[in-house]
Amino acid sequence: MTVEIIGITVLWLFLYGYVIVASIDFGAGFFAFYGKWTKRDHVINQVIKRYLNPVWEVTNVFFVFFFVGLVGFFPDTAYYYGSALLIPGSVALILLAIRGSFYAFENYGSKQNMVYLFLYGATGLLIPASLSTALTISEGGFLQKEGDKVVFLAKELFTSPYSWSVVFLAIVSVLFISAAFLTYYADRAGDIEARTLLRRFALFWSPPTIVASFLVFVALSEHNPEHFANALKYWWMFALSLLCFFVASYFIYKQKRYGTAFIFVMFQFFFAFFGYGVSHLPYILYPYVTIHDSVTNITMATALVVVFIAGLLLLVPSLYLLMRLFLFDADYVKGKK
Protein backbone atom coordinates (compact mmCIF):
# COMPACT_ATOMS: atom_id res chain seq x y z
CA MET A 1 0.00 0.00 0.00
CA THR A 2 1.49 3.34 -1.09
CA VAL A 3 1.93 6.31 1.22
CA GLU A 4 -0.70 8.34 -0.65
CA ILE A 5 -3.30 5.57 -0.21
CA ILE A 6 -2.52 5.38 3.50
CA GLY A 7 -2.69 9.17 3.73
CA ILE A 8 -6.08 9.55 2.03
CA THR A 9 -7.47 6.64 4.08
CA VAL A 10 -6.46 8.27 7.36
CA LEU A 11 -7.92 11.59 6.20
CA TRP A 12 -11.15 9.87 5.16
CA LEU A 13 -11.37 8.32 8.63
CA PHE A 14 -11.12 11.81 10.15
CA LEU A 15 -13.84 13.07 7.82
CA TYR A 16 -16.05 10.09 8.66
CA GLY A 17 -15.57 10.80 12.36
CA TYR A 18 -16.60 14.41 11.77
CA VAL A 19 -19.69 13.32 9.83
CA ILE A 20 -20.92 11.18 12.74
CA VAL A 21 -20.01 13.46 15.66
CA ALA A 22 -21.05 16.69 13.94
CA SER A 23 -24.32 15.18 12.69
CA ILE A 24 -25.36 14.35 16.25
CA ASP A 25 -24.47 17.90 17.31
CA PHE A 26 -26.13 19.66 14.37
CA GLY A 27 -29.27 17.55 14.53
CA ALA A 28 -29.54 18.04 18.29
CA GLY A 29 -29.59 21.79 17.74
CA PHE A 30 -32.44 21.51 15.26
CA PHE A 31 -34.43 19.20 17.54
CA ALA A 32 -33.88 21.59 20.47
CA PHE A 33 -35.40 24.42 18.42
CA TYR A 34 -38.21 22.18 17.14
CA GLY A 35 -39.01 21.11 20.69
CA LYS A 36 -39.24 24.73 21.82
CA TRP A 37 -41.29 25.74 18.79
CA THR A 38 -43.82 22.94 19.29
CA LYS A 39 -43.85 23.49 23.07
CA ARG A 40 -42.36 20.07 23.72
CA ASP A 41 -39.02 21.39 24.94
CA HIS A 42 -39.80 20.08 28.43
CA VAL A 43 -39.79 16.59 26.92
CA ILE A 44 -36.51 16.45 24.97
CA ASN A 45 -34.42 19.57 25.60
CA GLN A 46 -32.96 18.43 28.91
CA VAL A 47 -31.67 15.24 27.29
CA ILE A 48 -30.26 17.26 24.39
CA LYS A 49 -28.59 19.75 26.72
CA ARG A 50 -26.95 17.00 28.77
CA TYR A 51 -25.44 15.62 25.56
CA LEU A 52 -24.28 18.95 24.12
CA ASN A 53 -22.61 20.42 27.20
CA PRO A 54 -19.58 18.07 27.35
CA VAL A 55 -18.92 17.55 23.61
CA TRP A 56 -19.76 20.63 21.54
CA GLU A 57 -16.24 22.05 21.92
CA VAL A 58 -14.52 19.00 20.40
CA THR A 59 -16.81 18.49 17.41
CA ASN A 60 -14.65 20.44 14.97
CA VAL A 61 -11.38 18.69 15.88
CA PHE A 62 -12.00 16.02 13.22
CA PHE A 63 -12.84 18.73 10.68
CA VAL A 64 -9.64 20.69 11.32
CA PHE A 65 -7.49 17.55 11.11
CA PHE A 66 -9.04 16.62 7.76
CA PHE A 67 -8.56 19.93 5.98
CA VAL A 68 -5.09 20.60 7.38
CA GLY A 69 -4.07 17.08 6.38
CA LEU A 70 -5.65 17.37 2.93
CA VAL A 71 -3.64 20.48 2.08
CA GLY A 72 -0.52 18.98 3.67
CA PHE A 73 -0.73 15.71 1.74
CA PHE A 74 -2.05 17.14 -1.52
CA PRO A 75 -1.00 20.82 -1.88
CA ASP A 76 -2.72 21.18 -5.27
CA THR A 77 -6.10 21.02 -3.53
CA ALA A 78 -5.46 24.46 -2.02
CA TYR A 79 -4.86 25.89 -5.50
CA TYR A 80 -8.06 24.49 -6.99
CA TYR A 81 -10.38 24.62 -3.98
CA GLY A 82 -9.18 28.06 -2.88
CA SER A 83 -11.50 29.94 -5.21
CA ALA A 84 -14.21 27.28 -5.39
CA LEU A 85 -14.81 27.18 -1.64
CA LEU A 86 -14.52 30.92 -1.06
CA ILE A 87 -18.29 31.48 -1.01
CA PRO A 88 -19.57 28.24 0.61
CA GLY A 89 -16.56 28.19 2.96
CA SER A 90 -17.20 31.75 4.09
CA VAL A 91 -20.88 30.96 4.60
CA ALA A 92 -19.95 27.90 6.69
CA LEU A 93 -17.56 29.95 8.85
CA ILE A 94 -20.23 32.60 9.47
CA LEU A 95 -22.74 29.90 10.39
CA LEU A 96 -20.22 28.25 12.73
CA ALA A 97 -19.65 31.62 14.41
CA ILE A 98 -23.40 32.13 14.87
CA ARG A 99 -23.74 28.62 16.23
CA GLY A 100 -20.89 29.11 18.68
CA SER A 101 -22.42 32.37 19.83
CA PHE A 102 -25.46 30.44 21.06
CA TYR A 103 -23.35 28.97 23.82
CA ALA A 104 -21.99 32.37 24.77
CA PHE A 105 -25.48 33.86 24.98
CA GLU A 106 -26.62 30.81 26.93
CA ASN A 107 -24.01 31.51 29.61
CA TYR A 108 -25.46 34.99 30.04
CA GLY A 109 -28.94 33.66 30.66
CA SER A 110 -30.40 34.04 27.16
CA LYS A 111 -30.92 30.37 26.44
CA GLN A 112 -34.72 30.74 26.41
CA ASN A 113 -34.56 33.39 23.69
CA MET A 114 -36.42 31.98 20.68
CA VAL A 115 -34.30 33.92 18.16
CA TYR A 116 -31.05 32.48 19.47
CA LEU A 117 -32.51 28.99 19.53
CA PHE A 118 -33.79 29.43 15.97
CA LEU A 119 -30.34 30.50 14.77
CA TYR A 120 -28.82 27.56 16.59
CA GLY A 121 -31.26 25.10 15.03
CA ALA A 122 -31.12 26.60 11.53
CA THR A 123 -27.32 26.61 11.42
CA GLY A 124 -27.41 22.93 12.36
CA LEU A 125 -28.92 22.25 8.94
CA LEU A 126 -27.27 24.99 6.90
CA ILE A 127 -23.69 24.15 7.92
CA PRO A 128 -23.73 20.57 6.56
CA ALA A 129 -25.55 21.85 3.46
CA SER A 130 -22.80 24.40 2.80
CA LEU A 131 -19.95 22.01 3.60
CA SER A 132 -21.40 19.33 1.32
CA THR A 133 -20.58 21.56 -1.66
CA ALA A 134 -16.93 20.47 -1.29
CA LEU A 135 -17.90 16.89 -2.17
CA THR A 136 -20.12 18.15 -4.96
CA ILE A 137 -17.31 20.21 -6.51
CA SER A 138 -14.97 17.21 -6.34
CA GLU A 139 -17.08 15.50 -9.01
CA GLY A 140 -15.97 18.01 -11.63
CA GLY A 141 -17.89 20.36 -13.89
CA PHE A 142 -17.84 23.29 -11.50
CA LEU A 143 -14.28 24.52 -12.04
CA GLN A 144 -12.68 25.66 -15.26
CA LYS A 145 -8.96 26.22 -15.73
CA GLU A 146 -8.09 29.19 -17.94
CA GLY A 147 -4.31 29.37 -18.21
CA ASP A 148 -3.00 29.74 -14.65
CA LYS A 149 -6.37 30.87 -13.36
CA VAL A 150 -9.08 28.65 -11.88
CA VAL A 151 -12.62 29.90 -12.47
CA PHE A 152 -15.46 28.79 -10.21
CA LEU A 153 -18.66 28.15 -12.17
CA ALA A 154 -21.15 29.19 -9.51
CA LYS A 155 -24.17 29.12 -11.82
CA GLU A 156 -23.50 25.48 -12.73
CA LEU A 157 -23.21 24.55 -9.06
CA PHE A 158 -26.46 26.21 -8.00
CA THR A 159 -28.43 24.81 -10.96
CA SER A 160 -27.04 21.27 -10.82
CA PRO A 161 -29.47 18.49 -9.81
CA TYR A 162 -26.51 16.56 -8.39
CA SER A 163 -25.55 19.50 -6.17
CA TRP A 164 -29.02 19.78 -4.67
CA SER A 165 -29.36 16.02 -4.22
CA VAL A 166 -26.16 16.06 -2.13
CA VAL A 167 -27.48 18.97 -0.06
CA PHE A 168 -30.73 17.07 0.54
CA LEU A 169 -28.80 13.96 1.57
CA ALA A 170 -26.59 15.98 3.94
CA ILE A 171 -29.59 17.49 5.73
CA VAL A 172 -31.68 14.33 6.14
CA SER A 173 -28.62 12.28 7.15
CA VAL A 174 -27.84 14.75 9.92
CA LEU A 175 -31.37 14.47 11.27
CA PHE A 176 -31.46 10.67 11.06
CA ILE A 177 -28.05 10.12 12.69
CA SER A 178 -28.82 12.60 15.46
CA ALA A 179 -32.30 11.22 16.18
CA ALA A 180 -30.97 7.65 16.30
CA PHE A 181 -28.26 8.58 18.80
CA LEU A 182 -30.47 10.79 20.96
CA THR A 183 -33.05 7.99 21.14
CA TYR A 184 -30.35 5.75 22.56
CA TYR A 185 -29.18 8.51 24.91
CA ALA A 186 -32.71 9.12 26.22
CA ASP A 187 -33.06 5.37 26.76
CA ARG A 188 -29.83 5.33 28.78
CA ALA A 189 -31.20 8.22 30.82
CA GLY A 190 -34.39 6.28 31.53
CA ASP A 191 -36.40 9.18 30.09
CA ILE A 192 -39.28 7.28 28.48
CA GLU A 193 -41.16 10.37 27.27
CA ALA A 194 -38.09 11.82 25.54
CA ARG A 195 -37.19 8.44 24.09
CA THR A 196 -40.67 8.03 22.61
CA LEU A 197 -40.56 11.41 20.85
CA LEU A 198 -36.98 11.03 19.61
CA ARG A 199 -37.75 7.52 18.36
CA ARG A 200 -40.53 9.01 16.23
CA PHE A 201 -38.03 11.48 14.79
CA ALA A 202 -35.62 8.63 13.96
CA LEU A 203 -38.35 6.63 12.21
CA PHE A 204 -39.61 9.72 10.39
CA TRP A 205 -36.21 10.65 8.95
CA SER A 206 -35.09 7.14 8.05
CA PRO A 207 -37.00 6.79 4.72
CA PRO A 208 -35.87 10.22 3.40
CA THR A 209 -32.26 9.16 4.04
CA ILE A 210 -32.58 6.20 1.69
CA VAL A 211 -34.56 8.21 -0.87
CA ALA A 212 -31.91 10.94 -0.82
CA SER A 213 -29.13 8.35 -1.28
CA PHE A 214 -30.95 6.94 -4.30
CA LEU A 215 -31.38 10.42 -5.79
CA VAL A 216 -27.64 11.09 -5.37
CA PHE A 217 -26.84 7.92 -7.33
CA VAL A 218 -29.27 8.85 -10.09
CA ALA A 219 -27.86 12.38 -10.32
CA LEU A 220 -24.27 11.08 -10.22
CA SER A 221 -24.94 8.78 -13.17
CA GLU A 222 -25.78 11.86 -15.23
CA HIS A 223 -23.17 14.21 -13.80
CA ASN A 224 -20.11 11.93 -13.65
CA PRO A 225 -20.69 8.60 -15.45
CA GLU A 226 -17.09 7.50 -14.81
CA HIS A 227 -17.49 7.74 -11.03
CA PHE A 228 -20.90 6.09 -11.23
CA ALA A 229 -19.41 3.15 -13.16
CA ASN A 230 -16.68 2.78 -10.54
CA ALA A 231 -19.27 2.91 -7.75
CA LEU A 232 -21.08 -0.04 -9.33
CA LYS A 233 -17.88 -2.09 -8.92
CA TYR A 234 -18.21 -1.59 -5.16
CA TRP A 235 -21.91 -2.40 -5.06
CA TRP A 236 -21.35 -4.74 -2.12
CA MET A 237 -20.31 -1.83 0.12
CA PHE A 238 -23.52 0.02 -0.65
CA ALA A 239 -25.50 -3.21 -0.20
CA LEU A 240 -23.95 -3.65 3.26
CA SER A 241 -24.86 -0.03 4.00
CA LEU A 242 -28.47 -0.72 3.07
CA LEU A 243 -28.50 -3.90 5.16
CA CYS A 244 -27.21 -2.00 8.20
CA PHE A 245 -29.93 0.61 7.66
CA PHE A 246 -32.65 -2.05 7.75
CA VAL A 247 -31.19 -3.66 10.88
CA ALA A 248 -30.98 -0.28 12.67
CA SER A 249 -34.52 0.65 11.63
CA TYR A 250 -35.80 -2.73 12.76
CA PHE A 251 -34.40 -2.31 16.28
CA ILE A 252 -35.73 1.25 16.53
CA TYR A 253 -39.14 0.21 15.24
CA LYS A 254 -39.29 -2.72 17.68
CA GLN A 255 -38.28 -0.39 20.53
CA LYS A 256 -35.30 -2.42 21.66
CA ARG A 257 -31.48 -2.39 21.64
CA TYR A 258 -31.17 1.27 20.76
CA GLY A 259 -27.42 1.20 21.31
CA THR A 260 -27.02 -1.63 18.83
CA ALA A 261 -29.27 0.25 16.44
CA PHE A 262 -27.00 3.29 16.53
CA ILE A 263 -23.92 1.12 15.96
CA PHE A 264 -25.59 -0.17 12.80
CA VAL A 265 -26.37 3.42 11.80
CA MET A 266 -22.65 4.17 12.09
CA PHE A 267 -21.85 1.10 9.99
CA GLN A 268 -24.48 2.19 7.47
CA PHE A 269 -22.71 5.47 6.87
CA PHE A 270 -19.26 3.88 7.16
CA PHE A 271 -19.87 1.53 4.24
CA ALA A 272 -21.63 4.19 2.15
CA PHE A 273 -18.98 6.82 2.92
CA PHE A 274 -16.03 4.58 2.15
CA GLY A 275 -17.77 3.08 -0.86
CA TYR A 276 -18.16 6.58 -2.24
CA GLY A 277 -14.55 7.44 -1.38
CA VAL A 278 -12.87 4.37 -2.86
CA SER A 279 -14.93 4.60 -6.05
CA HIS A 280 -13.87 8.24 -6.44
CA LEU A 281 -10.18 7.34 -6.43
CA PRO A 282 -7.71 8.22 -7.79
CA TYR A 283 -9.37 11.63 -8.09
CA ILE A 284 -9.62 14.14 -5.28
CA LEU A 285 -10.94 16.78 -7.65
CA TYR A 286 -12.09 15.43 -11.00
CA PRO A 287 -10.30 15.72 -13.43
CA TYR A 288 -7.53 17.98 -12.13
CA VAL A 289 -6.24 16.52 -8.86
CA THR A 290 -5.34 12.87 -8.22
CA ILE A 291 -3.74 11.29 -5.16
CA HIS A 292 -0.79 10.07 -7.24
CA ASP A 293 0.13 13.23 -9.15
CA SER A 294 -0.65 15.77 -6.43
CA VAL A 295 0.89 14.15 -3.36
CA THR A 296 3.65 16.06 -1.58
CA ASN A 297 7.23 14.72 -1.53
CA ILE A 298 7.64 11.25 -0.04
CA THR A 299 9.50 12.42 3.07
CA MET A 300 6.82 14.95 4.01
CA ALA A 301 4.03 12.49 3.17
CA THR A 302 5.55 9.79 5.38
CA ALA A 303 5.95 12.22 8.26
CA LEU A 304 2.34 13.38 7.88
CA VAL A 305 1.09 9.79 7.85
CA VAL A 306 2.88 9.09 11.13
CA VAL A 307 1.63 12.30 12.73
CA PHE A 308 -1.97 11.85 11.65
CA ILE A 309 -2.13 8.20 12.65
CA ALA A 310 -0.74 9.23 16.05
CA GLY A 311 -3.36 11.98 16.20
CA LEU A 312 -6.11 9.49 15.39
CA LEU A 313 -4.85 7.08 18.05
CA LEU A 314 -4.88 9.93 20.56
CA LEU A 315 -8.20 11.48 19.57
CA VAL A 316 -10.35 8.33 19.56
CA PRO A 317 -9.39 7.21 23.12
CA SER A 318 -9.83 10.80 24.30
CA LEU A 319 -13.38 10.86 22.97
CA TYR A 320 -14.01 7.49 24.58
CA LEU A 321 -12.83 8.79 27.95
CA LEU A 322 -14.93 11.93 27.53
CA MET A 323 -18.02 9.85 26.93
CA ARG A 324 -17.21 7.33 29.64
CA LEU A 325 -16.39 9.89 32.35
CA PHE A 326 -19.00 12.51 31.51
CA LEU A 327 -21.51 11.78 28.75
CA PHE A 328 -22.43 8.26 29.88
CA ASP A 329 -21.74 8.66 33.57
CA ALA A 330 -24.60 6.93 35.39
CA ASP A 331 -25.53 10.02 37.42
CA TYR A 332 -24.87 12.59 34.67
CA VAL A 333 -26.96 10.86 32.01
CA LYS A 334 -29.94 10.86 34.39
CA GLY A 335 -29.49 14.54 35.24
CA LYS A 336 -28.37 13.95 38.80
CA LYS A 337 -25.21 16.03 38.39
pLDDT of residue 211: 94
- Please list the alpha-helical segments (H only) found in the chain: 3-37, 41-55, 61-73, 76-84, 86-107, 114-131, 133-137, 154-158, 161-188, 192-223, 225-233, 235-253, 258-280, 298-322, 330-333
pLDDT of residue 237: 94
Distance CA 79, CA 74 (A): 10
pLDDT of residue 112: 61
pLDDT of residue 169: 94
Q: Report cis status (omega within 30 of 0) of the bond before 282.
A: yes
Q: Report cis status (omega within 30 of 0) of the bond before 287.
A: yes
Residue pLDDT, tens place only, 51-80: 666 566 667 777 777 877 888 888 878 777
Distance CA 19, CA 273 (A): 10
Residue pLDDT, tens place only, 297-323: 777 778 888 888 887 788 778 777 777
In the chain (337 residues long), the average pLDDT of successive 10-residue segments reads 81 88 87 84 74 65 78 79 72 78 59 72 86 86 78 84 93 94 87 88 94 93 91 93 95 91 95 93 84 76 81 78 65 54
Distance CA 148, CA 170 (A): 33
pTM: 0.90
